[in-house]
Structure 1
Amino acid sequence: MSELKNRILTQLITELEANKLVLPSLPEVALKVRDTLADENANTKAVAKVISTDAALSAKLIQVANSPLLRGTKHIDSVDMAVTRMGNTTVRNTVNSLIVQQIFQPTTDITDKLFRNFWAHSTEVAAISQALASMARLKPDQAMFAGLVHDIGALPIIKYAEDIPELLDKPDVLAEIIQELHTTIGVALLSSWEFPQDIINVAAKHEDLDYEPGGPADLVDVVIAANLQSYFGKEHPHAKMDWSEVPSFARLGLDTEVSVIDMDETGEAIKEVQESLRV
């Protein structure tokens, strides 16, 4: 282990354990949406009113409502209509998804590139997760969100690196640090946001290719499979993985010889979902 890597790992772990590592807070609009949806007396108009206070969020929500896996016979052109079509659970997950990409604002060219690479991978895994969940009879919207935030622990590390020029000059070392700590920091971040335990479990366990839930397939299985499929045909160690040796594929009932991206009935939908989540 290099001296730089060892030093930064020690700093990050020490600050995390002492609750001194800077973790971003959820924006007020996300908290208000959560509170409104938790109110049994809240109706569609109340939810839409909160979302409408954020113009960028409103536009994105409408775009997602018109995406292929939610699209109905009528085009959606208002937040009220979007909320009605999507339902509370999908609205909550979609708002959280869209907020994530607004929270982290890179301040250097290097971290901007890292963030864009992170987001490209996250949106691909999210889109594949949504498709796989539909095939496995799990909830597609929850799977999409789980896929989107599975690597979210990388973002505080990237942000942390902005103040350490010598680390930015060594992208391989930074990548190793992210690989070692992103699950631990992801759990801390999602826990601080009070997200559901099944989403936190995805951040914690998605790198465990021998994962066993002790029951039927769950969101961790979906994201493990989606993450591996996202590397299909790319230059990455996971691209060489034999999917038949990964228990999650069997639990989901997936054909280990076919990538969902290449399937006619899902490939185009995956591309459109990715586009709807693009920065």
Structure 2
Amino acid sequence: MDEQLFLTELNEAIRLDQITLPTLPEVALRVCDAMERETISAADIASMIATDAALSARLLQVANSPLYRGRTAIDSVQLAVARLGVRLVRSLVVSLATQGMFQARSQGLNSRLRQLWENSVQVAAISRVLAKPLKHLETDQAMLAGLIHNIGALPILVQAERIGLEDEQALETLLDRLSPSTGERILSRWGFPPSLVAAAKHFNDFTYDGGPLADYADVVVVARLESLLGTGHPDAARDWEMIRSFEKVGLATDIEIVELEGAQEEINDVNEMFLG
């Protein structure tokens, strides 16, 4: 299918409310907005989260997961915010809220979105591991970058089902070419910082270079390629030596992430947290 025609029809469907761009739940938006105010307290953040019972339960579950649990169990949202810190809780709230977007009523579309979510979780897990030694980056922001890196695929898949596009190769081409710009559009509307918007905009841009230090886009580029090893995806067969993000992240192109000490355990923990 013609790429420009599909994009035109996608934009028209959005304009006519035939499909809608993904939006964060109200509580996640309130938490993000509140974080911009210097006077906000941990108790205020906890009170906001507590208004959403499902999100509160998931946050407590994650706070007691192997990645974050301390010596004693966390049994309240307020204690979770106090122990984990407001910045980490914000990343977790947005990460947990994102999961609900990868669902649909149609069985066919729901299956696609489930696969997309599983792929995103794998990229998120690897991103978290890659960011650990990079002291200027936050591991949980890297994980969030991995989770939302392909958010632009959601409306594309919805539109493809709406118009009955069944050509798998054509759909893959559309996703590859249009997901980055669509993801940039979505995250910009959410008010995400440029560092995370860039991760969605450049996740399959192998010439990307945002500066001398690795950023979240670099981390996601490398994490995504590592996640594709053994899948037969054409990007896995690229010459990784030519991709500067590997050098900036500090990972040799001939090393699989799972070979690093403790990496597989942490990847499994993230997968369990979001897929378990």
| TM-score of the two chains, using structure 1 as the length reference | 0.90
Alignment deviations for residues 152-181 of structure 1 (CA, whole Å, 9 cap, x no partner): 0001112223322x21x3333222221221
2:152 maps to what in 1? 153
**Structure 1's 274 and 64: CA in aligned 2 closer, same or farther, altered over 3 A?**
same
- Structure 1 residue runs of 5 or longer lacking an equivalent are none
Structure 1 counterpart of 2:90, from 92, 110, 117:
92
Mapping 1:3-22, distance limit 5 Å: 7-12=5-10, 22=20
Distance 1:103 1:248 in 2: 29
Q: Secondary structure at the match of 2:85?
A: helix
**Count of residues in Structure 1 that have an aligned counterpart in Structure 2:** 274
Distance 2:215 2:93 in 1: 22
Distance 1:175 1:159 in 2: 14
Mapping 1:38-53, distance limit 5 Å: 38-53=36-51
Q: State the 1:63 CA deviation.
A: 2.3
Q: State the 1:235 CA deviation.
A: 2.0
Mapping 1:157-196, distance limit 5 Å: 157-164=156-163, 166-167=164-165, 169-196=166-193
Q: State the 1:231 CA deviation.
A: 0.9
2:267 maps to what in 1? 270
**Structure 1's 136 and 244: CA in aligned 2 closer, same or farther, altered over 3 A?**
farther
1:33 maps to what in 2? 31
Distance 1:130 1:19 in 2: 38
Confirm whether residue 249 of structure 1 aligns to residue 252 of structure 2.
no
2:234 maps to what in 1? 237
Paired residue type of 1:237: P
Distance 1:68 1:259 in 2: 23
Distance 1:41 1:61 in 2: 23
Distance 2:103 2:86 in 1: 28
Paired residue type of 1:116: R
Q: State the 1:261 CA deviation.
A: 2.3
Distance 2:4 2:41 in 1: 52
1:133 maps to what in 2? 131
Structure 2 counterpart of 1:201, from 178, 191, 198:
198
Distance 1:74 1:262 in 2: 32
Paired residue type of 1:249: F
Structure 2 counterpart of 1:102, from 100, 103, 106:
100
Alignment deviations for residues 236-263 of structure 1 (CA, whole Å, 9 cap, x no partner): 1122233332111111221322212233
Paired residue type of 2:78: D
Distance 1:270 1:84 in 2: 26
Confirm whether residue 55 of structure 1 aligns to residue 53 of structure 2.
yes
Q: State the 1:29 CA deviation.
A: 0.8
Paired residue type of 1:211: Y
Q: State the 1:124 CA deviation.
A: 0.5
- Shifted more, 5-14 versus 107-116: the winner is 5-14
Distance 2:34 2:8 in 1: 40
Q: State the 1:194 CA deviation.
A: 0.8
CA contact (8 A) 2:91 2:140 kept: yes
2:143 maps to what in 1? 144
**Structure 1's 19 and 228: CA in aligned 2 closer, same or farther, altered over 3 A?**
farther
2:215 maps to what in 1? 218
Paired residue type of 1:149: I
**Structure 1's 245 and 19: CA in aligned 2 closer, same or farther, altered over 3 A?**
farther
- Structure 2 residue runs of 5 or longer lacking an equivalent are none
CA contact (8 A) 1:65 1:85 kept: no
Q: Matched residues, percent identical? A: 41
CA contact (8 A) 1:68 1:273 kept: no
Q: Secondary structure at the match of 1:221?
A: helix
Cα RMSD for the two superposed structures: 2.2
